[in-house]
Amino acid sequence: MTTPEMSLKAAQVKAVHRMLAFNEESAATYDNDFSLPPAGSSNNQWKILIYDAACRSIISPILSVQQLRRRGVTLHLLLNSEREAIPDVPAIYFCRPTKENLAIIAQDCAKGLYARAHLNFVTKLDRELMEEFAKLVVQTGSLDKVASVHDQYLDYVCLEKRLFSLHKVNSYAIYNGSGTTEAMMEQAMTDIAYGLFSVVATLGHIPIIRCPKGGAPEMVARKLNRMISEHPTLLRNKSSITRPLVVILDRNADLITPIQHTSTYQALIDDLLKHQANRVEFEVVQDPDSNRPKKTQKRFDLDPDEDRFYSAHKFQPFPEAIESNGAELQEVTAREQEIRSKTGGADPAVDPLSSGANDLANAVESLPALLNRKKQLEIHTSILQAVMNEVAARDVPQFYELESALATGTYKNDPAKAKQKVLAFVGDADKGSVEDKIRLIMVYALTTAAKTAELDEVGTALQQACEMKAAQDASVRQVLSNGLKAISYLKKLRSMHMIPSAADMLQELQATPGGEKSSSHVFSSLMAKATTQATDLLAKATDKVTSMLGKINKHHATVVVENLCEMKPGTEDETYLYLDPKVKGDVDVIKLQAMTRATVREAIAFVIGGGCYGEYQNLQMVANDRRQISYGSTELLNASAFLSQVGQLG
């Protein structure tokens, strides 16, 4: 069981550590890798890790190759790859409990590839499959090779301390597609419930479950409630620690957030660069003014929790992240030069005690850590430059500003001006990419009461503006075609009243703490430092980022979670379903309101149909010293991937 301070990621890492120690509870005490017994010793013996692709996705973001090595893992191999026999070393299998995977494991046992097989399934192994596997190993006389079988309930990918995904690919298109049968939908909701059960089981605390009535959220909530209440050991936890609140939401309740342009550092990385499982990739052009500019591919693995700069600034507006990077880099460089000047440029490896200055010795000893920090800051300088190149080339701040104005009801009483603004953006062939324009049109369709004819007019303007580009570039044609289908799908949803009305979708204008600081003041301070290495990248785009500063509005999920956590009257707290695995049947919320309820210390917001970094970061607005907010979804998507799925439905 975890402590209330332990994050979901820390709890998952602890569970994986226990699995790598052959599920011995004593292994959980070695939270620090450096306190471990030496790899290869009797208390930390060598082993092989064999996983399928799904479980590799779970391991990769939380444990590096070096960390696996410290845990005694000499090799980590894919289950369906050709593997050589290593008969004197035990194997730890970590995979999905499928018929295909079990057949491969049984075959490995029959061949005697490894000394013993320790089987760990990422979710529940059904009795039918277990019996079938037992028959296979008995028939081949290899039952003695199976040392243990465990259901680990780790079926989710943890990317940060409080960010996870169930990795259900193409989830929005599948859950909303006309070709999805009732049986397929039932199975999909069961899979989601098992994923959420894994999260609950890892944390070890029985949650309260809240969700809107009807549809996918209620299906998942009831399945999850039943899984928890029927689990043989989970309900034995009699801890008095405040129970977490699980809030299950439907993507269709807010289609604006995954489409809208963003303004914060991490969300822009995900939106504008190639970003997957904390790895960012982008192209750098060297000597762009020469006749033959050289292009190189950059790739960095980011740690949102341990990277000092990234952890502190990932939620900041992009211009503020640039400013902070420049200031910190300047500070670190000055400190490095100070240390080197004191040593007279000598090699830091030389014993500084010969100078007789203890403070100098300490300074020299700190130099490697300082240089490492400088290296990390320079990596972020490179990433910030790549993001800025895209921001400037695609006029992202202007799209962000207009979409924010639409989403917060600025043009609520002047729909003609809203249409005029959108037409001006869409009709300008040089402003933004085709995808940027499609995203703007979709936000316009979702936040205003524009008639179908008006949406058609805007769509026609888009086609005319992109006609030349589409004729020359097949990829542009594909994006345009898919985008028009996505817009068509939205029009269909609106006509069938299957998504909230424009009035309901308007986000309440709320300033973040400190948001009153004027944009012009903050931006002027950025430009005062534009000569530094990091902020020099602003020199060519001074007018392009000012609108990315200022107030940030609470999105739908943020408002709902806040209302439920604070139990506000007249809100979702009165209308949402209330399920408690410790209580049979539904709980009457109206009766609860007359009682004193425990303060919510931890909330987990989960979105069915795909989530995004913008939504995750927005939710942190209602997190504080007394309340932690975790965020999960069926899959994490950037706007491009989400648009692609919506287009499949048009």
* CATH code (residue 135): 3.40.50.2060
Look over the chain and give the mean of its residue pLDDT values, rounded to a whole number.
87
Q: Are residues 438 and 477 in the same domain?
A: yes
Q: Are residues 183 and 67 in the same domain?
A: no
The Cα-based distances of 112 to 19, 97, 120, 137 in angstroms read 22, 21, 18, 11
Q: Are residues 169 and 146 in the same domain?
A: no
Start-to-end CA span in the chain (Å): 46
* CATH code (residue 565): 3.40.50.1910
Domain carrying residue 566:
159-254+555-649
CA atoms of 40 and 155, how far apart (whole Å): 29
Give domain status of residue 37, yes or no: yes
pLDDT tens column, 47-97: 999 999 999 999 999 999 999 999 999 999 999 999 999 999 999 999 999
Residue 201: pLDDT above 70? yes
Which tokens in the block code for residue 239? 């801890």
Domain boundary among 459, 479, 499: 499
**Least confident piece of the model among 112-116, 374-378, 584-588:** 584-588
Residue 233: pLDDT above 90? no
DSSP classification of residue 413: T
Matching residue, tokens 């769509």: 459
pLDDT tens column, 412-425: 899 999 999 999 99
Give percent above pLDDT 90 in the chain. 71
**Model confidence band, residue 6 (pLDDT cutoffs 50, 70, 90):** confident
For 248, residues 6+ apart whose C-beta sits below 8 A from its C-beta are 196, 209, 210, 211, 217, 220, 221, 224, 606, 608
Domain boundary among 113, 135, 154: 154
Give domain status of residue 356, yes or no: no
Tell how many helices (H) and how many strands (E) occur in the chain.
24, 15
pLDDT of residue 528: 40
Q: Are residues 18 and 144 in the same domain?
A: yes
Give domain status of residue 519, yes or no: no
Q: Are residues 28 and 85 in the same domain?
A: yes
Q: Are residues 166 and 141 in the same domain?
A: no
Q: Are residues 24 and 149 in the same domain?
A: yes
pLDDT of residue 509: 41
Q: Is 84 helix (H, G, I), strand (E, B) or coil?
A: coil
Q: Are residues 73 and 186 in the same domain?
A: no
Give domain status of residue 268, yes or no: no
Q: Is 643 helix (H, G, I), strand (E, B) or coil?
A: helix
Show the beta-strand stretches assigned E in 242-308.
245-250, 274-276, 279-286, 294-301
Q: DSSP labels for 513-566? A: TTTTS-HHHHHHHHHHTTTSTTGGGGTT-TTTSGGGSS-----HHHHHHHHHHT
Q: DSSP labels for 163-190? A: EEE---TTHHHHHH-TT--HHHHHHHHH
Give domain status of residue 58, yes or no: yes
Higher pLDDT, 535 or 229: 229
Give domain status of residue 131, yes or no: yes
pLDDT tens column, 480-537: 999 999 999 999 998 888 788 666 655 444 333 444 343 334 333 333 433 343 344 4
pLDDT tens column, 572-600: 999 999 999 999 888 888 888 778 888 89
pLDDT of residue 32: 63
Q: What element of type H or E holds 416?
A: helix 415-427
Q: Are residues 120 and 209 in the same domain?
A: no
Handedness of CA 307, 311, 314, 319 (dihedral sign): negative
> H-type helices in 548-635, by residue range?
556-565, 572-575, 589-593, 613-619
Q: Are residues 164 and 149 in the same domain?
A: no
Handedness of CA 77, 79, 81, 85 (dihedral sign): positive
Give domain status of residue 534, yes or no: no
User: Per the structure, how many domains does the chain have?
Assistant: 3
The Cα-based distances of 254 to 68, 408, 429, 505, 633 in angstroms read 40, 14, 29, 7, 14
Residue 1: pLDDT above 70? no
Q: Are residues 126 and 26 in the same domain?
A: yes
Give domain status of residue 200, yes or no: yes
Domain boundary among 466, 482, 499: 499
Q: Are residues 84 and 204 in the same domain?
A: no
CA atoms of 317 and 448, how far apart (whole Å): 26
Show the beta-strand stretches assigned E in 339-412.
none
